[in-house]
């Protein structure tokens, strides 16, 4: 096996993107589905910010107009759902795997409303002939969101828990048996860099020492050590070094810009995370109930701030998207 890994890292003519695909499922992080085919990812993810950005481009404006023309007499929630599913359906035509579609972030602290919205999105996909297994419902990793995901998973609707910044969130998601989590590497990096100010040493904190990379690695190793089936998908990357330092992670969702950089490079790349190695590590098992989860999250200033900030940003972009619909 070690020889195989080495072979992948030095094979002549293999770019970093192709080498990465030997270890990790590559996911396109974009609402611009016309960019997806060039990189042949397995899966794709979207969020309100990406959809908002896409519909303001001339080549996608008709999707917004069509949704409003056909469904404008219904609620804004329903028009938004229809638009998200239309984007998802277009993306699924270009990839062999799954697309992630996000529940309105304004429902992040409402378990019942999140479950209802998720089921509506799945109903719309199924009405378009899309099998439930090709869709991941994205939900913010609040306590309420995680409980909603647990219920959806029991009903056969698979979920992607997003805006995940802490080990406590990952532990709770594993307990809930969610399909996939998306720890945000770049936003963790941003927080620590800003916090350090002039004392930040970019070179010393790069690659495996990057705080976002370390966070994902600790979650990945915990899951593999204890046989937790939830998939780990690193997200929100700021540079190629963060990506290559996580080669071997279950999945990595990457923007078209960074996918292009990987495709243009033939620098060596080898596995950085290994499930078999993790199984041999001494990692204690951890569980959380609601009280211990909330306390652990509260103790993590970075995670608390970035979770709140992320929800606010997604809400703001959802409101902007609704304004365009009006």
Residues in the chain: 326
Q: Alpha-carbon distance 167 to 219, whole Å?
A: 6
The answer to whether 215 and 168 are in contact (CB under 8 A) is no
SS3 249: coil
Q: Alpha-carbon distance 12 to 3, whole Å?
A: 15
Q: Alpha-carbon distance 171 to 190, whole Å?
A: 23
The answer to whether 171 and 144 are in contact (CB under 8 A) is no
- 134: DSSP letter: G
Q: Alpha-carbon distance 13 to 11, whole Å?
A: 6
Structure tokens at 241: 């070094």
Catalytic annotation on 138?
yes
Structure tokens at 163: 């805006």
Q: Which of 34, 70, 138, 225 is catalytic?
A: 138
Structure tokens at 235: 């997200």
Q: Which residues of 66-93 are buried (b: 16+ CB within 10 A; e: fewer)?
A: ebbeebeeeebeebbbbbbbbbbbbbbe
Q: Alpha-carbon distance 318 to 198, whole Å?
A: 35
Partnered with residue 252 across adjacent β-strands are: 26, 234
Which among 239, 271, 272 has a CA at the least distance from the CA of 254?
A: 239
Q: Alpha-carbon distance 248 to 25, whole Å?
A: 9
Structure tokens at 204: 């010393």
Judge residue 199's burial from the number of C-beta atoms within 10 Å of its C-beta, 0-12 exposed, 13-18 middle, 19 or more buried. Answer: exposed
Would you please indicate which residues are annotated as catalytic (active-site) residues? 138
């Amino acid at each position: 096996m070690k020889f195989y890994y080495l072979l992948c890292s030095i094979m002549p003519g293999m770019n970093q993107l192709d080498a990465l695909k030997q270890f990790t499922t590559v996911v396109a992080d974009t609402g611009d589905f016309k960019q997806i085919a060039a990189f042949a990812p397995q899966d794709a993810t979207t969020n309100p910010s990406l959809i908002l950005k896409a519909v303001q481009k001339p080549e996608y404006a008709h999707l917004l107009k069509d949704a409003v023309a056909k469904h404008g007499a219904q609620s804004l929630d329903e028009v938004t759902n229809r638009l998200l599913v239309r984007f998802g359906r277009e993306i699924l035509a270009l990839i062999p795997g799954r697309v992630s579609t996000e529940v309105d972030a304004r429902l992040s602290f409402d378990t019942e409303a999140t479950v209802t919205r998720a089921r509506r999105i799945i109903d719309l996909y199924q009405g378009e002939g899309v099998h439930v297994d090709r869709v991941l419902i994205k939900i913010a990793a609040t306590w309420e969101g995680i409980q909603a995901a647990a219920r959806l998973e029991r009903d056969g609707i698979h979920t992607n828990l997003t805006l995940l910044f802490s080990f406590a969130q990952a532990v709770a998601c594993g307990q809930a048996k969610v399909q996939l989590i998306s720890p945000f590497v770049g936003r963790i990096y941003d927080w620590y860099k800003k916090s350090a100010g002039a004392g930040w040493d970019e070179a010393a904190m790069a690659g495996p020492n990057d705080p976002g990379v370390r966070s994902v690695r600790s979650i990945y190793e915990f899951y593999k050590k204890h046989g937790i089936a939830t998939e780990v998908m690193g997200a929100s990357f700021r540079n190629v070094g963060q990506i290559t330092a996580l080669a071997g992670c279950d999945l990595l969702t990457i923007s078209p810009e960074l996918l292009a950089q990987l495709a243009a490079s033939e620098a060596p790349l080898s596995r950085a995370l290994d499930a078999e190695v993790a199984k041999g590590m001494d990692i204690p098992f951890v569980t959380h109930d609601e009280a211990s989860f909330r306390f652990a999250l509260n103790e993590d200033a970075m995670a608390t701030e970035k979770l709140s900030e992320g929800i606010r940003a997604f809400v703001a972009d959802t409101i902007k998207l609704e304004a365009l619909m009006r």
